[in-house]
Amino acid sequence: MRILVLGAGGYLGGHVTERLRALPDTHLLVGGRSPAADVTVDLASDSPYELARALAKAAPDAVVNCAGAVGGDAVTLTEVNARGPAVLCAALREAAPSARLVHLGSAAEYGPGTIGRRVTESETPGPAGLYGATKLAGTLAVSASGLDAVVLRVGNPVGAGAPPTALPGRVTALLAEAEAEEAGGGAYASGDGPGAAELRLGDLSAYRDFVDARDVARAVELAAVTPGPLPPVLNIGGGEALPVRELVRGLADVAGFRGRIVEADGAGSARSAQVSWQCSDITAARLALGWQPAHSLDASLDALWSSRTHTRAPDRVAAP
């Protein structure tokens, strides 16, 4: 089986690639602009014709699209998250119409949830910001493509290599910086007094559906190789809403941080202020793929902290 992964250099793309490389009787191809790519593609700028030529040469049995932008201006988000999937579908219809397409969507497409309720795939989406809106546009393009395609709507991924553009990775960067300061004689371990270490974050009152990056990769594997038609959209999450404070406190505990955690007023993201609750119903993924999460949040945090690098965090404020 020939599987082409787009966006393999990203956070989830890296986990997906590692998982798929271990599959027997599988030839894995990586698409991108790097010199190491097997297939030269750029979903943000390639024309459908250019992409179709590249896909025809690759002759994939399945294509996994992990390419996506979580930040940037409106043009970047639209080019990568909305235009990219649309162009990919057009090219696949031309060059590899029988290939299975697995596209990574986002639970942000749903928008604000109802406290105490898990959202199902039949819920009418109502994204709260531009990121969710552009991801939804990509999902609609895939669902309307007529291809053998499935969108995996991923919750809040946690695990090794999480980038500082989202809360888990950013808090890890801040804690790693504090750890490095302690090694240099700083106040990391003091815990009190005027010189004590302090982690200043945004509002942590929201609830999120966290899912281990390794569990996401396993869902992608199953979606790529499971025979027969699949539902157009499947939720991939932990299946429960946990307080963001629990994630931050758990990560601080893993790091051995004994300073203060301060929630600064007005420091949170606009999207987080609008979405206080997210929780996905993952029943459909269990029925269609035989998938369910296998890693606890504690295991995810252990993997995340173990993968840290001692680099300076992008800023001193983090928000979910």
Query: Known catalytic residues?
Result: 131
Q: Which residues contact 171 (CB under 8 A, 6 or more apart)?
A: 199, 201, 247, 248, 251, 252, 318
DSSP 108: G
Angle among Cα 127, 279, 235 to the nearest 5 degrees reads 80
The count of C-alpha atoms lying within 13 angstroms of the C-alpha of 1, restricted to the half-sphere facing its C-beta, is 19
Strand partners, 158: 212
Residue pair 88/51 in contact by the 8 Å Cβ criterion = yes
Extended beta strands in the chain, E state: 2-6, 27-32, 39-40, 62-65, 100-106, 148-154, 156-158, 198-201, 207-208, 210-212, 233-236, 242-243, 260-263
Strand partners, 207: 243, 277
Going by C-alpha positions, the residue among 230, 210, 225 that lies closest to residue 279 is: 210
